[in-house]
Amino acid sequence: MGGGFGGLEAVLELERRFRDDPAVEITLVSENNYFLFTPLLPQIVSSTIEPRHIVQSLRDIRRERRFRILRARATGFDLARRQVATSVGALPFDYLIIALGSVPNFFGLEGAEHCFPLYSLEHAVVLRDHLLDLLEHADHEPDPERKRALLTLTVVGGGYTGVEVAAELRDLLFRHVVRRYRGIPADDVRLLLIEATAEILVGVDPKLAARARRKLERKGIELRTEARVARAGPGEVELKGGEKVPTGLVIWTAGVRANPLLESLPGPKNPAGRVLVTPQLHLPDHPRVFAIGDNAVVKGAPPEHTVPVAPLAMQQARVAAENVARGVARQAYVNFEYRPQGMLVSLGMNDAVVNLMGVRFSGYPAWLLWNAVHLLKLVGLKKQLQVALDWSLATLFPRDTSILRRPARCRLCESGASAATPR
Amino acid sequence: MGGGFGGLEAVLELERRFRDDPAVEITLVSENNYFLFTPLLPQIVSSTIEPRHIVQSLRDIRRERRFRILRARATGFDLARRQVATSVGALPFDYLIIALGSVPNFFGLEGAEHCFPLYSLEHAVVLRDHLLDLLEHADHEPDPERKRALLTLTVVGGGYTGVEVAAELRDLLFRHVVRRYRGIPADDVRLLLIEATAEILVGVDPKLAARARRKLERKGIELRTEARVARAGPGEVELKGGEKVPTGLVIWTAGVRANPLLESLPGPKNPAGRVLVTPQLHLPDHPRVFAIGDNAVVKGAPPEHTVPVAPLAMQQARVAAENVARGVARQAYVNFEYRPQGMLVSLGMNDAVVNLMGVRFSGYPAWLLWNAVHLLKLVGLKKQLQVALDWSLATLFPRDTSILRRPARCRLCESGASAATPR
């Protein structure tokens, strides 16, 4: 269940293991009919690449492979009867791998509806169009103070996504927007990154995190660490301690929790709603039900082995699939052991920080490596070509600032009134 | 007012005519912050090209030009006070060119809400995702009769758009979908084109229209001429005469009417809501208020000079701009005369019919010409490169069948129940 990094890898691994066994049926249940390459989401927000170039149709991935695809939303589990419920009916199983991913976690924030999360393709597309809509409003705004408030963009969460989206926004705004929107002077644009802990990129190598911090600050991004958002409202965020920051847009990258459907599973969960699984990755009392990726925490694993990153989900997927194969062959299960693969964080055009196999570096070479790795990891030659072309065109031509969707959740469009000052 | 073919051309022509007159202010009011190249909309539906590649940001078109841009929705006219009302406030004018384009015309059809129009980018994107959603449902549908009904696609309207979208759908379905969706056999797919008059492509050269008809029928598209839709319902269309056709999707390309805002203008309108203008393109009693393109009908013009096509709107835009310049210089206005520029209709991959300066031809050379003309007419080198690359990739790789938006208006998703048969 699930067509993300974990679910897709599990299905492909099962296909390899049961290639010569036509009696085994493999079914991938996915709400989306595509696989999303999430690491490039921040580049959708900044219009560097096209949304369609980081998705790959599941059927194109399958091609001649024999696994089945059910495009359906999972709606429940009936472990006793060995069935999962879906939006198009019940599906029986002998073995189940749960890889339903996660949803934004607002930690009960008051005014969460005013924040824009960034974990799905829809999030990225909606956020991009909302941002551009905001720029149009700011372009026309005659009041200087209101204009500066509209042009204050707040990113909450200093992890990978938060840092990368702040860097992407900076490129988009200062390299493209201020040249084209005559009502938007560079001095009025303010980019704020809010992080609850003492340092950004928690879990990454501390020296690299410090280097990233200096680089971001040099680019003009304001970093507020040890700061927490107490409340979000229309047009402002309030920090713990009472400080109110007038802001045009709040991007929420401060946390995820497991798919809410997992609450109905038996057994203990961690605070992020993940199921506690055995070292063999199955539910404690259900040896045929596995959970992986953002849906699971291995009992006793150190905190750095529970980060919601693709390599972890994919490594777990391969072990879960192996254990399914072992179960079918009546062999003993193997244990999962995580091998972290290093860190790559993009800091916008021509800059990144990298920690690979203990070697740390940053700047242009790191950025080239970041691009190469992400391109290689993309599924399918067509998408690799398209993203490479997008990147090439992005160095030669301006970014696309067309608003493709009608503005949603824009209080200015909805209220519909302000003085028109064409620019 | 309006950022389509007419409004944009008018602004560019005004800019040329008033280049040396800094006292003149030119403002483009547009609800979208982009220009849409509408002739390629059918290729969005079939996933041949990316939606963003046929839009061009208005500010990228403007660059160093001095005209102003107001991203706002026009909401009314106050001709006596020489003001237009917009969603962000009132805007005064000395001269006004109305180029607000058109909206779908359902001619009072019962069940119009079940039809998908195809005149804007949003229409094309929503239609594409709805079509792909339908294919996912059909893939899982165990009942053969219901499956055939889901896979019956009806296009209403045998004009340019209807013919081109039917041909594009045919390519998408037979070349890509039936190979990838194991639950969709080619024999179950039915494409129906319904046209009220005796022939498709009315207004085009009759010999070409007949040739196009033969070609479409050879491709397996069913043409029903002299057939009218009496009612659309969920899952079926009813024709005048009582015949009911179970259908998964109804695409509406059977007509447009002028932007409804024009109803508030003084003076007579034609049945499609267009303002009757003088041969100088202004309103009869308002010599400083011009209307062009889909918003106007020149009094006494023959019917073939009122078709809603881009060349007509652009020729009128240039004359209206010239007359504004003449008005400012206190010279007499010139009359508009339409020079039709020929016809190009694509019939899908490698096929088209063309009538240029009296020369008629069809097939692969016509298709190459169709591509070349449309590519040249696209605004901006970046977009030309992107569309050329899309076309090249489309010949080498499968189309993208990822559903990017959550299905809207899908009664199957909403009802949420049918037997799951993974494929």
- B65 occurs within a structural domain: no
Query: What band does B419 get if pLDDT is binned at 50, 70 and 90?
Result: low
pLDDT of residue A408: 82
Judgement on whether residues A154 and A248 belong to the same structural domain of the protein: yes
Looking at beta carbons, which residues of chain A come within 8 Å of B387?
A: none
SS3 of chain A: helix, strand, coil, percent, to 5: 40, 25, 40
B52 and A88 in contact by Cβ < 8 A?
Answer: no
- B76 occurs within a structural domain: yes
- A49 occurs within a structural domain: no
* Closest residue of chain A to B29, computed from CA coordinates: A422
* Closest residue of chain A to B33, computed from CA coordinates: A402
Rounded to a whole number of angstroms, the distance from the CA of A354 to the nearest CA of chain B is 32
N-to-C CA span, chain A? 51
Looking at beta carbons, which residues of chain A come within 8 Å of B405?
A: 122
pLDDT of residue B405: 87
B422 and A68 in contact by Cβ < 8 A?
Answer: yes
Strands B244-246 and B236-239: antiparallel
pLDDT of residue A417: 56
pLDDT of residue A414: 80
Nearest-5° angle of CA A192, CA A198, CA A203?
Answer: 100
The token duo for A223 is 């970093």
- B381 occurs within a structural domain: yes
Statement: residue B244 has pLDDT above 80: yes
For chain A, how many structural domains are there in total? Answer: 2
* Closest residue of chain A to B176, computed from CA coordinates: A60
Strands A352-356 and A359-362: antiparallel
Preferred mutation among A27, A33, A410 to probe B, highest tally of B CBs within 10 A: A33
d(CA B420, CA B117): 31
Tokens 């079940």 appear where? B114
Rounded to a whole number of angstroms, the distance from the CA of B93 to the nearest CA of chain A is 13
Judgement on whether residues B233 and B153 belong to the same structural domain of the protein: yes
Judgement on whether residues A294 and A360 belong to the same structural domain of the protein: no
Q: CA dihedral defined by A235, A237, A243, A247, rounded to 10 degrees?
A: -40
Statement: residue B364 has pLDDT above 60: yes
* Closest residue of chain B to A66, computed from CA coordinates: B423
Rounded to a whole number of angstroms, the distance from the CA of B61 to the nearest CA of chain A is 10
pLDDT of residue B198: 94
B402 and A52 in contact by Cβ < 8 A?
Answer: yes
For B292, the 3-state DSSP assignment is: coil
A400 and B91 in contact by Cβ < 8 A?
Answer: no
pLDDT of residue A343: 85
DSSP assigned state of B222: E
Residue of A41, A105, A100 whose CA lies nearest to A72: A100
Looking at beta carbons, which residues of chain B come within 8 Å of A123?
A: none
Rounded to a whole number of angstroms, the distance from the CA of B270 to the nearest CA of chain A is 30
pLDDT of residue B411: 85
DSSP B123-153: HHHHHHHHHHHHHHHHHH---HHHHHHHTEE
| Domain encompassing residue B379 | 112-254+349-414
Contact indicator for B381, B389 with CB cutoff of 8 Å: no
Rounded to a whole number of angstroms, the distance from the CA of B212 to the nearest CA of chain A is 33
How many CB pairs below 8 Å do chains A and B form together?
150
- What CATH code is carried by the domain that includes residue A242? 3.50.50.100
d(CA A172, CA A88): 42
The token duo for B342 is 């020929």
Rounded to a whole number of angstroms, the distance from the CA of B390 to the nearest CA of chain A is 9
Looking at beta carbons, which residues of chain A come within 8 Å of B86?
A: 420
Residue of B407, B140, B136 whose CA lies nearest to A91: B140
Preferred mutation among B11, B29, B33 to probe A, highest tally of A CBs within 10 A: B33
Strands B244-246 and B249-252: unpaired
- The strand order across the sheet containing A74-78 reads A74-78, A83-86, A89-92
Query: Residue A72 is nearest to which of B55, B57, B420, comparing CB atoms?
Result: B420
Contact indicator for A85, A70 with CB cutoff of 8 Å: no
For B404, the 3-state DSSP assignment is: coil
Window from A233-237, B204-208, B390-394 with minimum mean pLDDT: B204-208
Residue B7 parent element (H or E): helix B5-17
Overall average pLDDT of the B194-208 stretch: 89
pLDDT, one tens digit per residue, over B53-94 is 999 999 999 999 999 999 999 999 999 999 999 999 999 999
Window from B86-95, B123-132, B367-376 with minimum mean pLDDT: B367-376
A91 and B420 in contact by Cβ < 8 A?
Answer: yes
d(CA A125, CA A51): 7
Spans in chain A with pLDDT lower than 50: none
pLDDT, one tens digit per residue, over B254-289 is 989 999 999 999 999 999 999 999 999 999 999 999
Judgement on whether residues A152 and A222 belong to the same structural domain of the protein: yes
Looking at beta carbons, which residues of chain A come within 8 Å of B121?
A: 404
Select the more confidently predicted residue: A356 or B139. B139
- B248 occurs within a structural domain: yes
A32 and B402 in contact by Cβ < 8 A?
Answer: yes
Query: Residue B180 is nearest to which of A32, A60, A417, comparing CB atoms?
Result: A60
B420 and A121 in contact by Cβ < 8 A?
Answer: no
Statement: residue B297 has pLDDT above 80: yes
Q: Say what the ipTM of the complex is.
A: 0.92
B381 and A400 in contact by Cβ < 8 A?
Answer: no
d(CA B118, CA A49): 26
Rounded to a whole number of angstroms, the distance from the CA of A173 to the nearest CA of chain B is 14
Say which residues have a Cβ less than 8 Å from residue A412's Cβ, sequence separation at least 6.
Answer: A137, A418
* Residues β-bridged to residue A28: A69
- B333 occurs within a structural domain: no
- The C-alpha R_g of chain B, in whole angstroms, comes to 23
Judgement on whether residues B250 and B266 belong to the same structural domain of the protein: no
Preferred mutation among B29, B31, B41, B88 to probe A, highest tally of A CBs within 10 A: B88
d(CA A161, CA B174): 40
Judgement on whether residues A404 and A311 belong to the same structural domain of the protein: no
Tokens 């055939």 appear where? B148
- A241 occurs within a structural domain: yes
pLDDT of residue B417: 56
Q: Which of A328, A362, A392 is the last residue of a domain?
A: A328
- A37 occurs within a structural domain: no
pLDDT of residue A359: 87
d(CA B233, CA B248): 10
Residue B69 parent element (H or E): strand B68-71
Contact indicator for B172, B46 with CB cutoff of 8 Å: yes
The token duo for A103 is 């949803």
Contact indicator for A225, A200 with CB cutoff of 8 Å: yes
Q: Which of A328, A360, A384 is the last residue of a domain?
A: A328
Judgement on whether residues A21 and A146 belong to the same structural domain of the protein: no
DSSP assigned state of B399: P
Contact indicator for B317, B293 with CB cutoff of 8 Å: yes
DSSP A80-110: TTTEEEETTEEEE-SSEEE---EEE--TT-B
- The strand order across the sheet containing B89-92 reads B74-78, B83-86, B89-92
pLDDT of residue B323: 98
- The C-alpha R_g of chain A, in whole angstroms, comes to 23
pLDDT of residue A342: 84
The token duo for B141 is 């549908």
Rounded to a whole number of angstroms, the distance from the CA of B81 to the nearest CA of chain A is 17
pLDDT, one tens digit per residue, over B333-363 is 999 999 888 889 999 888 999 988 888 899 9
pLDDT of residue A305: 84
Contact indicator for B259, B102 with CB cutoff of 8 Å: yes
Looking at beta carbons, which residues of chain B come within 8 Å of A413?
A: 87
Judgement on whether residues B185 and B272 belong to the same structural domain of the protein: no
Judgement on whether residues A390 and A267 belong to the same structural domain of the protein: no
Statement: residue B406 has pLDDT above 90: no
- Residues of chain B with pLDDT > 90, as a percent, come to 80
Contact indicator for B290, B320 with CB cutoff of 8 Å: yes
DSSP assigned state of B204: B
pLDDT of residue B78: 97
Statement: residue B134 has pLDDT above 80: yes
Overall average pLDDT of the B312-330 stretch: 97
A423 and B34 in contact by Cβ < 8 A?
Answer: no
Rounded to a whole number of angstroms, the distance from the CA of A155 to the nearest CA of chain B is 25
The token duo for B76 is 């009314």
Judgement on whether residues A248 and A262 belong to the same structural domain of the protein: no
Nearest-5° angle of CA A293, CA A296, CA A298?
Answer: 110
- What CATH code is carried by the domain that includes residue B270? 3.50.50.60
Query: Residue B393 is nearest to which of A55, A91, A382, comparing CB atoms?
Result: A382
Looking at beta carbons, which residues of chain A come within 8 Å of B402?
A: 32-34, 52, 55-57
Nearest-5° angle of CA A350, CA A356, CA A359?
Answer: 90
Statement: residue B376 has pLDDT above 90: no
Judgement on whether residues B76 and B15 belong to the same structural domain of the protein: yes
Judgement on whether residues A293 and A310 belong to the same structural domain of the protein: yes
Say which residues have a Cβ less than 8 Å from residue A262's Cβ, sequence separation at least 6.
Answer: A98, A100, A269, A273, A274, A275, A291, A295
* Residues β-bridged to residue B244: B238
Query: What band does B203 get if pLDDT is binned at 50, 70 and 90?
Result: confident
